[in-house]
Amino acid sequence: MTLNVYLSGEIHTDWREQIIAGAEGLDVRFNSPVTDHAASDDCGVAIMGAEPSKFWHDNKGAKLNAIRTRKGIEDADVVVVRFGEKYKQWNAAFDAGYAAALGKSLIVLHGADHQHALKEVDAAALAVAEEPVQVVQMLRYVLTGGLPG
Amino acid sequence: MTLNVYLSGEIHTDWREQIIAGAEGLDVRFNSPVTDHAASDDCGVAIMGAEPSKFWHDNKGAKLNAIRTRKGIEDADVVVVRFGEKYKQWNAAFDAGYAAALGKSLIVLHGADHQHALKEVDAAALAVAEEPVQVVQMLRYVLTGGLPG
Amino acid sequence: MTLNVYLSGEIHTDWREQIIAGAEGLDVRFNSPVTDHAASDDCGVAIMGAEPSKFWHDNKGAKLNAIRTRKGIEDADVVVVRFGEKYKQWNAAFDAGYAAALGKSLIVLHGADHQHALKEVDAAALAVAEEPVQVVQMLRYVLTGGLPG
Amino acid sequence: MTLNVYLSGEIHTDWREQIIAGAEGLDVRFNSPVTDHAASDDCGVAIMGAEPSKFWHDNKGAKLNAIRTRKGIEDADVVVVRFGEKYKQWNAAFDAGYAAALGKSLIVLHGADHQHALKEVDAAALAVAEEPVQVVQMLRYVLTGGLPG
Amino acid sequence: MTLNVYLSGEIHTDWREQIIAGAEGLDVRFNSPVTDHAASDDCGVAIMGAEPSKFWHDNKGAKLNAIRTRKGIEDADVVVVRFGEKYKQWNAAFDAGYAAALGKSLIVLHGADHQHALKEVDAAALAVAEEPVQVVQMLRYVLTGGLPG
Amino acid sequence: MTLNVYLSGEIHTDWREQIIAGAEGLDVRFNSPVTDHAASDDCGVAIMGAEPSKFWHDNKGAKLNAIRTRKGIEDADVVVVRFGEKYKQWNAAFDAGYAAALGKSLIVLHGADHQHALKEVDAAALAVAEEPVQVVQMLRYVLTGGLPG
Amino acid sequence: MTLNVYLSGEIHTDWREQIIAGAEGLDVRFNSPVTDHAASDDCGVAIMGAEPSKFWHDNKGAKLNAIRTRKGIEDADVVVVRFGEKYKQWNAAFDAGYAAALGKSLIVLHGADHQHALKEVDAAALAVAEEPVQVVQMLRYVLTGGLPG
Amino acid sequence: MTLNVYLSGEIHTDWREQIIAGAEGLDVRFNSPVTDHAASDDCGVAIMGAEPSKFWHDNKGAKLNAIRTRKGIEDADVVVVRFGEKYKQWNAAFDAGYAAALGKSLIVLHGADHQHALKEVDAAALAVAEEPVQVVQMLRYVLTGGLPG
């Protein structure tokens, strides 16, 4: 069994790298959005031409990013969505809803302080964790039956 | 043509009432989540029994609310998602993603200050507006072809 | 909002009647399997001719009952599955799995003694309760926002 | 033609090993749930933290196991569900219903004493057998057209 | 519960009338193909213009009839397919396959002499009968739980 | 049987009115796009605010119109697409492709001069005609079995 | 581009071998039902035990064969259905209907004498031919753009 | 991540070759229709026999081409549709609608003069560009996050 795992959400810490490194040796294929913040914001206008309006500047970029995001979620068996400490992160919650509607197995990763605000997202998940290492342990268990310790 | 419209998101202002009142006479059926904040938070434990842990207290309630939310979105032709000034509102973004994945027509309603943070949500929408009256105008146009003024 | 509710499972107590009576006045349409045990067992051979083998006797009946069961589940928004005190009740668990795969909102109703054995079924549910009155309270809350007491 | 076969149900005998060994040389890819009973029961709390309540202890584990179970069933062409002599085995019947609703080819494996209680499950199956060797014979026939001796 | 029933197949006897008359008082909506043989054969050229080639004459008609046939099958909960004594009746078997792939409940109606030739069609059905009255009895049982006699 | 029919395409002649008038008395529900050319072009900016760029002016309008168009096509049993004498009419061909991918019954209406250019669209259709009266005759035949003359 | 092609229908001539040999060198993967008539008829009872009734003898076999048939059709891009000179061949027409409902590209292969009786099946096809070599030419054209001669 | 990209539309310039050459080294699999205009027009009659009527000549060819076109679009993650300077190109718009209804990521490529006429097609797209090099830049960005310059 090969698991396709999409890593959505927060892009300012190294949680993706921790999971990918921890899962070394497991039969997992990871996908992620473009995590270069500047490139992600400006990709639309960089390729399709400048826009005087911020709304259309962002709209062009968000749609171009959606090609990758949709492909990543639709190909995934498991979608991990990480909510960090800062920012609105509505795109993370949007991805979670998108994944849930497609029937993907959803894992949500967030700190305890976000618990109440994320209750609807957590309620749609098959697992909720606080640390990337727990996601690695889940992937290992799902693929091999092995538990930590 | 009857439009089924689900009104998702912010529950602390009267935007739903404005839209419903403005749409009087149009062939629209509206649905919404339970908008009584306290009832929505506590419904799970009130019916299924208390939980010492806040996480499971919230989980029971969020799942019970999901019965109504899913029904409302799945039955809808148009999902309007309102982001207010306050709170994280991740459930609103989750609903938007859920609706988008089901191919629903999405209208997003938010103030200009949220524009950049909502760019991925807006990019999935067929219309973005700031005021409830614009949603009424959209529904009137979609159903009758009539434009304001 | 009209809720279509399918009442699956145990047929030897009056739990369906309790729910239907309790939900009077709510905008709910209920469906159920044929709950006459003898008719349900023998319907196939009664209409299509006797079978010397018990397997085919049962097979003819189970398939004929499936016409009603599938229609009931596929039309439902909410599937309530009741596990009673006795019998294997594999058909109830089968219906729960069928409903879950179709994305129906699942409510499971069972006594505390079955908790561990039903953990996979409960894990697929949006609500788990012990008493029919709780299902009535859920339906009332989902449709009206009103809570008991 | 490669067949993806998911082996669901009873975990206390070696029926899976018999089928996998018997099918050696055939173009089959097998998947199964985690069959280590203790690991399967405790995986949720082992990774996501202890729960004082048995219900949530089980709920955490059942959901984590569902990541593997759903993937296994959704990837399968054929789902074999084995009912053993003991226990309620509602998860097996749940898997059968889940597989049936997805249109998977279902093979049910059980002893004669369970015939009447499993009539609805058998009625949804394309084949019903008592012994693992018969499943091997079916897989061989489906893939090569060859019949036993 | 209202059952939508599509009556497909043989058009030279009054089996449809027997079923519709027998089902009087039951909550059933029946649909059928156009059963006027000449109109059904010539409808395409009568409306869209003559064709010198028999193939295209038939093709135009068969496609126009498909508008009704597809609508009838897609709207149906139950598809009854009748095979008569004469003719190839490949359209009946085609409808049965079409209905089966859409997950419709299939009832096949044919004489004993066609049993072997129809084994694949019967194997996809939830019920097989010889006489129209049996179909009436099935519909009555499915809707009311009542059995004949 | 009620047919839901969506009338897509050319908006500069009265072909819709001819079909609707001709179908009087038949059990048909018609839907159409907004056919007021100016309103259709400007609806987006009229409601959501002016755009200096023609591209975004048109984009806003086209998306708002898509709410109605998608609803009309998705609700339809039959999609009639009319290609007139003038203009590119790519939206008509787009609607035809959209309807074909959803498995809708497609009727294409165009003059003989467009035959070669529309061959791919015609090849996806169940009927091709030149005059609105032929569409009326088709709807009458599909619903009643009656042929002209 | 790799084409998955399922070869359904008549089993008494070497049309499958002709197509497979003719397509050598093309990027095609072929699948077929079991074409050993005796094995196909008796597979059910050979593996699952004898049946005194011919109906259930056939039923067991037809269902077991359905595991292969469904897999073959569901995996296919193109379903070729061959109608021979003899027998009822309702299973071929059933497969054609099944494939059509799944949106598969359908090629029908039959002699001119069956033209009228197969008009509904042909009307659902993207190509109709009389000789296996034409199917080879189609596959070559579809994959390479090359035409015969 | 491997992207499957279907290149639909205009066949008289080398835009496909430009994109394929530009994307060298990227993990992309390209598919296209048959772009030999004469072969594409005549393939049906060349294989299945001549037709005296131009309509059926074209119909046979268009359906045969549809085997490839549908496979290409259904397998694609991204559908690029190019509108050239000349011809009606309704097949390109049809493909765009077909792709949009299937939820494919759509990129539209056309000159500025077609902007208004293509507004409905552009509104369904995730990106709109004028030059093939921009499509290459998009594919590179989607796959690697790298931007031009």
Q: What is the pLDDT of residues E11-28, one digit of tens each?
A: 999 999 999 999 999 999
* pLDDT for position C136: 98
* pLDDT for position E102: 98
Residue range C58-72: mean pLDDT, rounded: 98
Residue A5 has pLDDT above 90, yes or no: yes
| E94 lies within 8 A of chain H by CB | no
Token reading at B116? 């950049």
Is G15 in contact with G110 (CB distance < 8 Å)?
no
Interface test with A, best of F56, F58, F60 (most A CBs within 10 A): F56
* pLDDT for position F78: 98
- Please give the class, per CATH, of domain H3-34+74-144: alpha beta
Cβ separation A145–D48 shorter than 8 A: no
Token reading at G60? 């067991």
Is B100 in contact with B119 (CB distance < 8 Å)?
no
Across chain E, mean pLDDT equals: 97
User: Which residues lie closer than 8 Å to E25 by C-beta, 6 or more apart?
Assistant: none
Residue A50 has pLDDT above 90, yes or no: yes
| H67 lies within 8 A of chain G by CB | yes
Q: Which long-range contacts (CB under 8 A, 24 or more apart) does E16-23 make?
A: E18/E132, E18/E133, E18/E136, E19/E80, E19/E132, E19/E135, E19/E136, E19/E139, E22/E132, E22/E133, E22/E135, E22/E136, E23/E136, E23/E139, E23/E140
What is the separation of C-alpha F82 from the centre of its chain, rounded to a whole number of angstroms? 6
Per-residue pLDDT band for D149 (boundaries 50, 70, 90) equals confident
Per-residue pLDDT band for A7 (boundaries 50, 70, 90) equals very high
Chain H contacts of F63, Cβ < 8 Å?
A: 123
Considering only alpha carbons, which residue of chain F is nearest residue E40?
F145
User: Which residues lie closer than 8 Å to A116 by C-beta, 6 or more apart?
Assistant: B54, B58
The dihedral over CA atoms of B5, B8, B13, B16, expressed in degrees to the nearest 10, equals: 10
Question: What is the per-residue pLDDT across E39-70, written as a single tens digit (0 to 9) for each?
Answer: 999 999 999 999 999 999 999 999 999 999 99
Q: What's the length of chain B?
A: 149
Tell me how far apart the alpha carbons of residues D114 and D133 are, in angstroms, rounded to a whole number.
19
Residue D147 has pLDDT above 90, yes or no: yes
Residue F55 has pLDDT above 90, yes or no: yes
Q: In what order do the strands lie in the sheet with D78-82?
A: D28-31, D3-9, D78-82, D105-109, D127-129
Chain E contacts of C48, Cβ < 8 Å?
A: 127-129, 134
Residue range G93-111: mean pLDDT, rounded: 98
* pLDDT for position C58: 98
Q: How far is CA H113 from CA F40, H15, H119, in A?
A: 20, 18, 11
Interface test with C, best of G45, G53, G54, G60 (most C CBs within 10 A): G53
Chain E contacts of H52, Cβ < 8 Å?
A: 52
Min Cα separation G6/chain H (Å): 14
Tell me how far apart the alpha carbons of residues H145 and H136 are, in angstroms, rounded to a whole number.
13
Q: Does ipTM top 0.85?
A: yes
| E36 lies within 8 A of chain F by CB | yes
Question: What is the per-residue pLDDT across G12-45, written as a single tens digit (0 to 9) for each?
Answer: 999 999 999 999 999 999 999 999 999 999 999 9
Across chain C, mean pLDDT equals: 97
Tell me how far apart the alpha carbons of residues E12 and H63 are, in angstroms, rounded to a whole number.
34
Of C112, C111, C110, nearest to C96 by C-alpha is: C110
Whether G contacts D, i.e. 3 or more CB pairs less than 8 A apart, is yes
* pLDDT for position G2: 97
What are the sequence ranges of the domains in chain D? 3-34+74-144
Question: What is the per-residue pLDDT across B1-40, written as a single tens digit (0 to 9) for each?
Answer: 999 999 999 999 999 999 999 999 999 999 999 999 999 9
Considering only alpha carbons, which residue of chain E is nearest residue F145?
E34
| C16 lies within 8 A of chain E by CB | no
| B52 lies within 8 A of chain D by CB | yes
Min Cα separation A146/chain F (Å): 44
Question: What is the per-residue pLDDT across A59-71, written as a single tens digit (0 to 9) for each?
Answer: 999 999 999 999 9
Percent with pLDDT over 90 in chain A:
97
Whether A contacts D, i.e. 3 or more CB pairs less than 8 A apart, is yes
Tell me how far apart the alpha carbons of residues H120 and F9 are, in angstroms, rounded to a whole number.
12
> At residue C71, what is the residue type?
K
Considering only alpha carbons, which residue of chain F is nearest residue E74?
F77
Residue H149 has pLDDT above 90, yes or no: no
Tell me how far apart the alpha carbons of residues D97 and D87 are, in angstroms, rounded to a whole number.
18
pLDDT lower than 70: segments of chain B: none
Across chain B, mean pLDDT equals: 97
Instruction: Calculate ∠ Cα C25-C29-C34, nearest 5°.
Output: 125
Is H96 in contact with F98 (CB distance < 8 Å)?
no
Residue G149 has pLDDT above 90, yes or no: no
DSSP code, position A33: -
